[in-house]
Structure 1
Amino acid sequence: MDRPKDSASFQKRLSAFAEDERKKALLLPPGPERDTALRKIRQAETASHLHDWANSPGLQSPE
């Protein structure tokens, strides 16, 4: 079963998701809902950094 290809890159989707969550968080009062939105932003940013690192040209596979 083939998975449909998304036209947006993984990096662009992560960036858009983080931006949407950031907009939501700015509108929320301090509390658990805002904390959850901020946590999702950090997770998306971490995933983006890991993706960059894993796909960097300097990374070599183990022998």
Structure 2
Amino acid sequence: HAVVDTTGAGDLYAAGVLFGLSRGAAPDHAARLGSIAAAEVISHLGARPRMDLVAVAKSILG
């Protein structure tokens, strides 16, 4: 996927990591959540994710 706009990438990465850690995820799983969130937000214009990142996180964390 192409990088369209990097606005919000760092914020979404941090949010994904913190969400994972706050749910008891191992650090590597939390980092994966952060990467997924950042990758999603850079794929379009604007800093708001278009997909349901909580649902994605729950599918990864179980």
For Structure 1 versus Structure 2, the TM-score category normalised by the shorter chain is: 0.3 to 0.5
Instruction: Report 1 or 2 for greater relative contact order, CA contacts < 8 Å, sequence distance ≥ 6.
Output: 2
* TM-score normalised by length of structure 2: 0.34
Report which of the two structures shows the higher radius of gyration computed on alpha carbons. 1
* TM-score normalised by length of structure 1: 0.33
